[in-house]
Structure 1
Amino acid sequence: MSNNSNRVWLLMSRCLNGEASAADENELELLMQADESVRQQYNTMRALWRSTAPDTFQDNIHTREEVNVARILQLARVEEAVAAPVVPAKRIWLTPQRVAVMVAAASVLLIAAYWQLVYRSGDRRVQVIVAQNGSRMQSKLPDGSTVWLNAGSSISYPVNFTGSQREVELKGEGYFDVAKNAGKPFIVHTAGIDIKVLGTAFNVKAYDTDKEVETTLISGMVQISRSGKGQQATPIVLHPDEKLVIPRKKVMATAQKSAAVAPVTEEDLQLADSKIMHINTQLPSAELAETAWMHNRLVFKGESFGELAPKLERWYDIAIEFTAPSLQALRFNGSFENETVEQAFDALATAVPFRFQIQGHKVLVMADK
């Protein structure tokens, strides 16, 4: 491995670990600007870094250094990936040389090998699959169920469903085609709710940045309830062709350590505030806004620019900056499939006049003259 490659991995590990200096961060940014594959590698590793935490490992691993070594060794033993990306993207290969560089460079490391990560939580082996921004992925679960992940999403689950339930945790958006097993319910934990099914097909959209959590049922039946023992609200049952929309709310935290401490807000999802909408499943799934992404199509209907921007950011792995708040009120209808970033923004600007500049991974949106 070349000295330059060693240097790239050294800088990546320092940035993930939080030990990078300003000079290190600037150097890595310049390298990513010069080589897009370096940016893709770093984005993938950062996404997986955020998907797990050191305290998820066995209790008999006490020191920070032991956690670091355990995580690196686990990653080095990752089996051949089973996740097949719908949109090709660069895979990250973890070689012994790179492990050596990273161990020497940082005290906490989590480096992605392939799209699939296996780690140990207690006596369970847990699998994590991540679809980074700009990609979609499909994978088979241990029970034969199929999951599709939209851009900027991840799913974690036991390597084997050995208990009385099949439980997975979703962050972002995923479509599930669940294998039927009446004696072993399938449960998706996401954004403070639990979605319980026996055998069905449904889509869940629960990005952290979204103002709402959506569950769309295509076939079968699902039951949605609040997560946590303290939530006793009656579950909501969805039937085919229905979509449940639950608004996210910021509420005051119930416990305060001191009256002198500034009030703390936390997110709350109340099923009583949700609404059920009917969708037209007579349309092909490639035409439905809720499922078109599985066919590599981004469909939007009557959405404001402010609502569309996060979707475009995930779809194209870009950052959008508005120079005026009024621009976010512009509304659009349409779809994108194979368009480049420039082609997509040209089309939007043709429908509703505005100006834009593409600056690397950032798109600056400006009012029309």
Structure 2
Amino acid sequence: MQANDDYILLLSKQFAGEITPDEYAILLDWLNQSPEHQQLADQLRLVWEKTGSYSKDFSPELDAAFGQVRAKIEAAEPILRVVSFRQKLIRIAAAVSLLIAGVWVYREYSTPALTTVFAHNEEKRLIELPDGSRVWLRHNGALEYPEQFVGSERHVKLSGEAYFEIASDVAHPFFVDLPNGDLVKVLGTEFGVRMSPNLLQTDVFVRSGKVFFSPKLQPKGIVLTSHQKASYDRNITKLTVDESATLNELAWQTGGLEFLGTPMEEVVTDLEQHFKVKISLRNPAMRGCAHTSPLTTQPLEKVLESLALTYQFRVTSPAPGQYELSGGKCQ
């Protein structure tokens, strides 16, 4: 290998963002030795930028190769070479051709094909991932995933809202990449992710297991456990956590509601959203009354009947889709 070729490898590592401080010092010393070295670097950077559409997925193992190159650079004594300008152009062209060919081959043969699934008209759509994980994609959502997971990480891209049941694999953590730059990392768990249409708010709901939620503007993130909910508001760059969430916002997937010491005012709100009705709680004294009920898939009439028996409510329906809860006594 010729001397310049050794430094072309270093330039490739620099363009890919993988160069170490020691390697950069070696490269900088070489660039300062001659204007022609800088000219070569500029030519290669131009080619690298023109192949930028490939660079996101292009991650060859440069460290091992440079280990040998660096030893050779450090051991070699300075040699004065006289090379004609024509020879330099030929070598630059060869290096450029090799770089383009390498990027193309890696892109074509090393990156798994991607599949994108949409939930247009369906209320929810079940997707089976290659690792055995399952995803329920909600109406108007989209999920992109590889036909086969490769490498040490499993990545999917989500737009909209989805509920995940992730196959446990400690050696290969699972990541949900969001269009606004937020990131969700899990090992094996059940959780939901929802983004607002304008991408300014992200909500993460954990039913079981552990999830690491890392908003783009707060990369330190937070670890969430069972029955916790995190919400990130990009307008005010604020991350809030509900330590004992009911997770009824996942009812579209589970098909039912559950309550654990939930204030009656929130119970009514969850019932309204789930059943798409209007419920008026007439007695202000009942708003803070804590209600506990296991997950139920009963129809609204049965749920209201149960509340009436438990709290002595009087239930009336003045119009279709409208209900009133009067009276009541907190237990």
TM-score by length of 2: 0.46
Q: Which of the pair has more CA radius of gyration? A: 2
Normalized per residue, the structure richer in helix is: 2
- Higher RCO (C-alpha under 8 Å, 6+ residues apart): 1
